[in-house]
Amino acid sequence: MLQRILQALEDARGPVSLDALSRELGVERSALEGMIALGVRKGRLRDSALAPGCAGGCGSHCGSAVGCPFLSHAPRTIELVATASGAESSRRSSVASCQ
């Protein structure tokens, strides 16, 4: 299943919502989120919601994305992590941030 998710993200021609991806793959959204979490743990995906540093551009170096007023309004993104073999790109797919 993880391979199907990775392939769907690779094939995406732009942003894709979790709901649309779950429909495309025929899986429940909660199962999809679990598989995305597994992909993050395995180092195959990067989730902006788990980003350690601030990317909000405010200039302060708070060191945490948690509670950042800039990131709280930014869409959650799931990014494919490039492998050593180069088989995967670093294409980024926006995912709906609402839960």
Distance of alpha carbon 71 from alpha carbon 52, whole angstroms: 12
Secondary structure tally for the chain: helices H, strands E: 3, 3
* Domain count within the chain: 1
Q: Please tell me whether the overall predicted TM-score, pTM, comes out greater than 0.75 for this model.
A: no
Between helix 2-11 and helix 29-41 the angle, nearest 10°, is: 90
Domain, as residue range, for 74:
2-95
In 3D space, the residue among 54, 53, 36 whose CA is nearest the CA of residue 45 turns out to be 36
Model confidence over 38-91: pLDDT tens digits?
Answer: 998 998 988 877 765 555 555 555 655 556 666 566 677 788 887 665 444 444
